[in-house]
Structure 1
Amino acid sequence: MKLIPYLNFNGQCETAFKFYEQCLGGKIGDIMTYGKSPMAEQTPSEWHDKIMHAQITVGDQELMGGDSMSEYFEEPKGTSVLLSIEDAGEAERIFEALAENGTVKMPIQETFWAARFGMLVDQFGTPWMINCARID
């Protein structure tokens, strides 16, 4: 079994995944637009360039997502994508990159459980937690 976070966007999936590819050092794999899908005829023409499904690989992990049509889109509530990073400097770099034009909820800092921990909501509305475990 494999757990894979699936992020929903309100029309900005392609931009978000390109941003995540840059911030996280990942590689975008599969991308399917509504217009190139078997559902193209049932999809409003203004959504043909929107992403029905996208996948990015970061290391040996995957993140997936797509654009939800406005009547189905809901902002994330009660969840975050947690990145566990071994190097404190890399944790800070990724935190700062993801925070660009977003909202920092808790600045990245040392805590009683972590060498670095921080929380943010990125410019696309995705909540993130960045954790770098304490090595004693």
Structure 2
Amino acid sequence: MQLNHYLNFDGQAEAAFNFYKSVFGGEFAAFMRYGDIPSEQGSTLSEADQQKVMHISLPINATTVLMASDTNDQFCAQTNTVFTLGNNHYISINLEAHEQADAKRLFDALSVNGKIEMPLDKTFWGALYGAFTDQFGIQWMVNCQLEEG
């Protein structure tokens, strides 16, 4: 299991991560825009939202990865959330395919008396993923890769 920081931005993820890359060095391990979502997923995002960053990751060292995404109007409406500086940080729990049972256990246990943003479910990027705010107001993501990589 690996714990990482996951940041949300309101359209500044790419600029922020280009800055972080200039400070920490290295290369992006992942970079996807909302426009990259497969059409069968039913995305109805505006052209502006399609250009926003869906996911970006920058390895900092062998055990730490800084990750982020931009918010978009459709996601905020679906999850009844509003981007506010201060609520733009998650702790991301990252697990391997053989840890699916741990992913479910951690999601279920940590979200007790909290607010589920996205139920733990399979995704188009090949992972079991869910997000929630725990009973103490801390935002979490659980991402378990389903294929060994």
TM-score using structure 2 length: 0.47
Name the residue aligned to 2:46.
Answer: 44
Larger Rg: 1
Name the residue aligned to 1:74.
Answer: 84
Alpha-carbon distance, 1:34 to partner: 0.6
CA contact (8 A) 1:55 1:65 kept: yes
2:58 pairs, out of 39, 56, 59, with 56
Structure 1: distance between partners of 2:42 and 2:49: 9
Name the residue aligned to 1:35.
Answer: 35
For 2:66, the aligned partner's letter is L
Alpha-carbon distance, 1:27 to partner: 2.0
Structure 2: distance between partners of 1:74 and 1:26: 29
* Aligned sequence identity (%): 33
CA contact (8 A) 1:26 1:59 kept: no
Structure 2, unaligned runs of 5 or more: 77-81, 92-149
Structure 1: distance between partners of 2:26 and 2:86: 22
Whether 1:16 aligns to 2:16 is: yes
Q: Does the C-alpha gap of structure 1 residues 53 and 40 become closer, same or farther in structure 2, counting only changes over 3 Å? A: farther
SS of the residue 1:42 aligns to: coil
Alpha-carbon distance, 1:26 to partner: 3.1
Structure 1, unaligned runs of 5 or more: 82-136
SS of the residue 1:26 aligns to: coil
Aligned residues between the structures: 81
User: How big is the alpha-carbon RMSD for the aligned residues of Structure 1 and Structure 2?
Assistant: 2.7
